[in-house]
């Protein structure tokens, strides 16, 4: 894990799923399948790259925890103010400090385990506003967690 300061808000457009942690292992894989089958990445005008973002946002208990309903929006980064194509939803990951957790390159099968390890950590003051996974075209995978400040000392 490393701490970075995301200088600007990141704007994403993609398909939206409302789910809970209790349903996630069933609903999220189907959502990813839909993303691929519908060719969503190709339908996003003005995308800044072919990187795929999976943004967890619109938490029922925003600012407190990730219990209850939340949205998962899978899509691409776009410039602020980009048009919103029919059937797609926007997400914004605000600027600020983030804890970044790399996942082994090309190992999407390890993302779920990485999230479980992140949830088990108590040294981070998570913001529960917008966390995201970034999938690089080169196979890199990083999970970005919004935090209120530097980690607490061990």
Q: Tell me the domains of the chain and their CATH numbers.
A: 2-146 (3.20.80.10)
In this prediction the pTM is 0.92
Residue 112: strand, helix, or coil: helix
Region 76-94: what's the mean pLDDT?
Answer: 95
Asked if residue 63 has pLDDT above 90, the reply is no
Burial pattern 66-83, b for ≥16 Cβ within 10 A else e, equals beeebbbbbbbbbeeebe
Extended beta strands in 10-154, E state:
10-19, 52-57, 70-78, 89-93, 96-103, 130-135, 141-146
Average pLDDT, the chain: 93
Joined tokens for residue 63 = 């600012």
Asked if residue 100 has pLDDT above 80, the reply is yes
Joined tokens for residue 22 = 């209790």
**pLDDT band at residue 25 under the 50/70/90 scheme:** confident
């Amino acid at each position: 894990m490393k701490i970075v300061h995301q200088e600007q808000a990141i704007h994403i457009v993609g398909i939206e799923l409302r789910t809970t942690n209790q349903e996630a292992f069933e609903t999220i894989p189907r959502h990813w399948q839909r993303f691929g089958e519908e060719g969503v990445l190709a339908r996003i005008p003005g995308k800044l790259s072919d990187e795929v973002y999976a943004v967890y946002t619109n938490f029922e208990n925003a600012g407190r925890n990730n219990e209850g309903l939340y949205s998962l929006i899978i899509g691409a980064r776009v410039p602020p103010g980009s048009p919103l194509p029919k059937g797609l939803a926007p997400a914004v990951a605000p600027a600020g400090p983030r804890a970044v957790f790399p996942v082994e390159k090309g190992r999407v099968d390890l993302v779920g385990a990485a999230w479980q390890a992140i949830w088990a950590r108590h040294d981070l003051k998570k913001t529960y506003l917008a966390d995201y996974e970034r999938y690089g075209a080169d196979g890199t995978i990083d999970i970005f967690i919004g935090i209120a400040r530097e980690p607490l000392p061990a």
